[in-house]
Structure 1
Amino acid sequence: MPSVLSLLTDPDEFFRRRVPDPSLKGPAVVVAAIAVVSVVASLLQFQFMSQVFESGGAGGGFVTAIRAVSLVFSFALPFVFWLLYAGLFHGISALLDGEGEFSTTLALVGWGYVPSVLGSIAGAAVNYYRFNVRGIDVPTEMTMEAYQQFSQSLQTGPLVALSAVLSIVFTLWSAFLWTFALKHARDLTLRQAAITVAVPVGLGLLWTARTLLVALEVL
């Protein structure tokens, strides 16, 4: 049984040996780890968000409901993106004559999220420092002018840029692993697998790049 360490040191061999027994248990644990980190990050950030809602005149019941919905989404989204990326990769690879079961694609794509576990921890640490340690001033009255200034402060600055850079780095790392995952899951050449992965990942990186440019006040 190939170890997780071999995923990082020799992904080609790791995924080749996974194809005969593409269990979903390991990948599900990986994605669940990201979900747990997302929930913790959401809990830590909600102290700041409560101030925003209170500044806008929101009642306690509304704030509690938003918190509950936020936690549910924080946990569910990593699993949604796992399914989404696996579905896109499977569909695109079919256009390149890829062969193999979707369950195999899903399992191997899940292993490609290992770098995202580290990325989500790093991102949560940056956001914790930004919102809970360094802090952001919340207007006492959310007028239109105050809202615009506050909104700009949330989208710009070095810590926003750092979060975007971290997201790009860890996404590219996952994309590297996904290339080998699709090569074996769908019986593709390395070039075909790279094309399969590049399309969805490239679109996602465009949005992150925009966030980075806004943070640096280039846009």
Structure 2
Amino acid sequence: MASNSITALFRPDEFFGEHSNEEAALGLPLGIVCIYSLLSAVAGYQMAALMAPMYDVALEGYGGVITIFGAIGGFIGGIIVWIVASVIFYLISMAFHGEGSVKKVLEAVGYGMAPLIAAAAIGIAYLVMIGDQVVAPVIHDIMDPTAVEQATELFLNQPVMADFTLLQTFLSVVFMIWAANIWYYGIRHARNLTTRDAGITVIIPVVIYLIIVIASYGVF
């Protein structure tokens, strides 16, 4: 199983070509998705824990609830990425008369999420290192949207969090490009597409996603 993952990571064309005529095996891809989702849960917990002191006055005693929701949201988010990406690739490839099953697409997308595990792990490690340097502005009135917005901006714009935002942007771009390379070959073989059609199916959604990510992080 480990050799399968390594081949999919570094020689995706060879890997998916060899398995193109086999039934979809979701065991390992699902494991990859679960690992990514668990790491996303940890990251969600970390961010929620860092932000929880902001609500100590307005929502006294609810810090634990906030962190739990952060973890749950992170885990569910990881699963959603897998499902949504698979649906998008499947629907776009329908325009090119793709022939493979939804399960084959889920399999390919699951393998392609392996690089995202590294991105999540690096982000978690960085948050561990900077955790004691983060200052959380206190929100006194949760019903005041202006106060909440200002406190959130202060939290995110402090130097240590600004550096984290930049790191996240960099990681998102680099590892998503790696994932897209795996998805390209995976979808091409899973749906029996031409090189051009597979490129359109995968590259366009990924480019749109990266533009949104970079723009939302305020890089440009």
TM-score band by shorter chain is 0.7 to 0.9
In 1: Cα distance, 2:79 partner to 2:152 partner: 32
SS of structure 1 residue aligned to 2:56: helix
Contact 1:37 1:121 in 2 (8 A): yes
Q: 1:128 to 1:138 in 2, by over 3 A?
A: farther
Q: 1:32 and 2:37 equivalent?
A: no
Tell whether the 8 Å contact from 1:45 to 1:128 is kept in structure 2 after alignment.
no
Q: Are 2:134 and 1:135 equivalent residues in the alignment?
A: yes
| 1:50/1:137 CA distance change after superposition, 3 Å | closer
Residue-by-residue CA offset, 1:118-172 (whole Å, 9 max, x unaligned): 1111122233334x13313424756846852651440572331121111111111
Aligned to 2:5: 4
Distance 1:149 1:138 in 2: 6
Which residue of 2 is the match for residue 164 of structure 1? 169
Report the alpha carbon displacement of residue 34 of structure 1 after superposing the two structures with TM. Answer: 0.7
Within-5 A mapping of 1:62-141:
62-130=62-130, 132-139=131-138, 141=140
Q: Deviations over 1:33-53 (max 9, x none)?
A: 011112222333333222011
| TM-score of the superposed pair, with normalisation by structure 2 | 0.86
- With over 3 angstroms needed to count, the CA separation of the structure-2 counterparts of 1:101 and 1:189, relative to structure 1, is same
* Structure 1 ranges of 4+ moved more than 4 A: 140-147
Matched, 1:201 2:203: no
Instruction: Report the Cα distance in structure 2 between the residues aligned to 1:192 and 1:116, rounded to whole angstroms.
Output: 24
Paired positions, count: 212
C-alpha distance 59-133 of structure 1, shift in aligned 2 (>3 A)? closer
Partner of residue 196 from structure 2, selected from 191, 200, 203: 191
- Structure 1: distance between partners of 2:38 and 2:174: 21
Q: Distance in 2 between matches of 1:140 and 1:153?
A: 11
Identity of matched residues, %? 25
Q: Name the Cα RMSD after superposition.
A: 2.3
